Amino acid sequence: MNVYDSDRMADILSPLGYDLTDKPQSADMAILNTCHIREKASEKTFSELGVLRKMREERKKTGDGDMIIAVAGCVAQAEGEEIMKRAPFVDMVFGPQSYHKLPEMLAAASRGAGQVLDTDFPVEPKFDHLPAEAIDTKLSAFLTVQEGCDKFCAFCVVPYTRGAEFSRATDDILSEAKRMVAGGTREITLLGQNVNAYHGLRKDGKAASLAELIQMLAEIDGLERLRYTTSHPLEMTEDLCRAHRDVDILMPYLHLPVQAGSDRILEAMNRRHTGAEYRRIIEKLRSYRPDLALSGDFIVGFPGETDQDFEDTLQLVRDVNYAQAYSFKYSPRPGTPAAALEGQMIPEDVKSERLARLQALLNEQQLAFNQSFKGKEIPVLLEREGKKEGQLIGRSPYMQSVYLQSPPHRIGRVATVIIEEGNANSLRGKLKSGGVADAA
């Protein structure tokens, strides 16, 4: 979502004459879009700010001009005051709900009005104020349809930094999607912290479910692929599960975090479902779409996690068999209920050991999944050139990166690729002759 937000910031700043640069040292303005989800991510803010400060001083010294420094995102939301104190050279600090006010904030900062702080949750959603035109259309693009979260998992800062759940109206999303497709987008990933809790207003004033929204989007001519992330097991409704069977452009890949396999820990995490319930959802999804590839998030070392609790997580992973997954050591976040469970914190070395064991199992599953494609023919969206001469990189329906040799003019097409090798993190294959149309 930060990638999507950063792109929108670029759209907002474009009419003011700002352009993206890949040389930060020559930038007139640097915006650090930050993440607060785990301590490691949020610590980076201050070290990166140190780097930017040096760049700014260098620019001033060499007479190249000044550099405005801004901190955006969830660290700004959660620690705005502290950032301004610890890093007085920062000009603007604003949260994820107020970046549409960038032009005003910029004007205030350039008037020399001192540091500008905006961490409000405005009544009117920022989406109503974002420019319609994107400065850069991507072949595979994100589209935010829902933001915020009301689930309050005991470990998570999202409900505090991104705020309450909000869904955009279907019409707004449809027009944004149509513009993207007209500009060349072939694959859209619908975004939301709790995307399957989507309940945006339809034209008739009733709420649409995510499954209905997906059906509406699937009607757009020229859109070849749809995905959505991230989902909560509790919101995997019957119509959404069925959409995986019924909507042909909905890709057979689902990121459905479970976090842990022990019912005791799931309850302490306030996840509101058991391991058995999660398994039943997976079974149902696979009955509708047998080739569905599953991905998940896991936290090891949640306060109070015993060896047996951790074994339950490993067992759940064995039962589900993931195509890929993300796993993390529990990181106490200020203000969350789990951070107050001081007596029950798990030592760092135990967390590291559990994470290594979990990741070994997940890597094994991912490799086996990738290797199972050897000899198969799959449709691949050709996205970009690779590092090697004549190489293209594309994506399989199951989210794997696919490397192959092909002329670059085929970028943007969906080609049939014969897979020759499945590796830990990617597939390698060759174009099937006649497997791609040359004319658009």
* Candidate residues 232, 244, 255, 413; the one interacting with ligand SF4 per rule CB under 6 A: 232
> Is 225 among the residues that bind ligand SF4 (CB under 6 A)?
no
> Is 328 among the residues that bind ligand 5AD (CB under 6 A)?
yes
**Smallest separation (angstroms) from ligand SF4 to the CB of 44:** 20
By rule CB under 6 A, what count of residues binds ligand 5AD? 12
Residue with smaller CB distance to ligand SF4, 18 or 155: 155
326 vs 257: CA distance, rounded Å: 9
> Is 38 among the residues that bind ligand SF4 (CB under 6 A)?
no
> Is 275 among the residues that bind ligand 5AD (CB under 6 A)?
no
Binding residues: 149, 153, 156
Strands 187-191 and 166-167, sheet pairing:
unpaired
Binding to ligand SF4 by CB under 6 A, coded x per residue (else -) over 316-355, reads ----------------------------------------
Between the alpha carbon of residue 51 and those of residues 39, 55, 73, 363, 396, the distances in Å are 19, 6, 18, 34, 38
By rule CB under 6 A, what count of residues binds ligand SF4? 10
Neighbours of 286 (CB within 10 A): 15
Nearest residue (beta carbon) to ligand 5AD: 297
* Candidate residues 97, 170, 229, 259; the one interacting with ligand 5AD per rule CB under 6 A: 259
Q: b/e map of 227-252 (b: 16 or more CB within 10 Å)? A: bbbbbbbbbbeeebbebbeeeebbbb
Tokens standing for 88?
A: 């007085």
**Smallest separation (angstroms) from ligand 5AD to the CB of 399:** 16
Binding to ligand 5AD by CB under 6 A, coded x per residue (else -) over 154-193, reads -xx-------------------------------------
63 vs 392: CA distance, rounded Å: 42
Residue with smaller CB distance to ligand 5AD, 98 or 193: 193
For residue 330, give the nearest of 338, 321, 342 by alpha carbon: 338
60 vs 358: CA distance, rounded Å: 49
Residue with smaller CB distance to ligand SF4, 37 or 218: 37
Look-up of token digits 């070290």: 47
Binding residues for [4Fe-4S] cluster: 149, 153, 156
CB 102 within 8 A of CB 109: no
Q: Which does 232 bind (CB under 5 to 8 A by kind): ligand 5AD, ligand SF4, none?
A: ligand SF4
Tokens standing for 123?
A: 């009544």
Considering only residues 298 to 317 of the shown chain, the ones binding ligand 5AD according to CB under 6 A are: 299
Tokens standing for 365?
A: 């599953």
331 vs 35: CA distance, rounded Å: 13
> Is 233 among the residues that bind ligand 5AD (CB under 6 A)?
no
* Candidate residues 56, 232, 271, 333; the one interacting with ligand 5AD per rule CB under 6 A: 333
* Candidate residues 33, 167, 295, 331; the one interacting with ligand 5AD per rule CB under 6 A: 331
Three-state DSSP string of 135-198 = CCCCCEEEEECEECCCCCCCCCCHHHHCCCCEECCHHHHHHHHHHHHHCCCCEEEEECCCHHHC
Considering only residues 135 to 164 of the shown chain, the ones binding ligand SF4 according to CB under 6 A are: 149, 151-153, 156, 158-159
Q: Which does 378 bind (CB under 5 to 8 A by kind): ligand 5AD, ligand SF4, none?
A: none
> Is 330 among the residues that bind ligand 5AD (CB under 6 A)?
yes
Region binding ligand 5AD by CB under 6 A among candidate stretches 134-142, 276-284, 330-338, 392-400: 330-338
Residue with smaller CB distance to ligand SF4, 294 or 415: 294
> Is 194 among the residues that bind ligand SF4 (CB under 6 A)?
yes
HSE-CB at 81 with a 13 A cutoff on CA atoms is 1
Binding to ligand 5AD by CB under 6 A, coded x per residue (else -) over 50-89, reads ----------------------------------------
CB 48 within 8 A of CB 342: no
Binding to ligand 5AD by CB under 6 A, coded x per residue (else -) over 139-158, reads ----------------xx--
- What does the DSSP assignment read for 338-365? GGG-GGGPPPHHHHHHHHHHHHHHHHHH
CB 414 within 8 A of CB 432: no
CB 379 within 8 A of CB 397: yes
* Candidate residues 7, 172, 297, 420; the one interacting with ligand 5AD per rule CB under 6 A: 297
247 vs 425: CA distance, rounded Å: 28
Contact residues toward ligand 5AD (CB under 6 A) are 37-38, 155-156, 257, 259, 297, 299, 328, 330-331, 333
Contact residues: ligand SF4, CB under 6 A = 149, 151-153, 156, 158-159, 193-194, 232
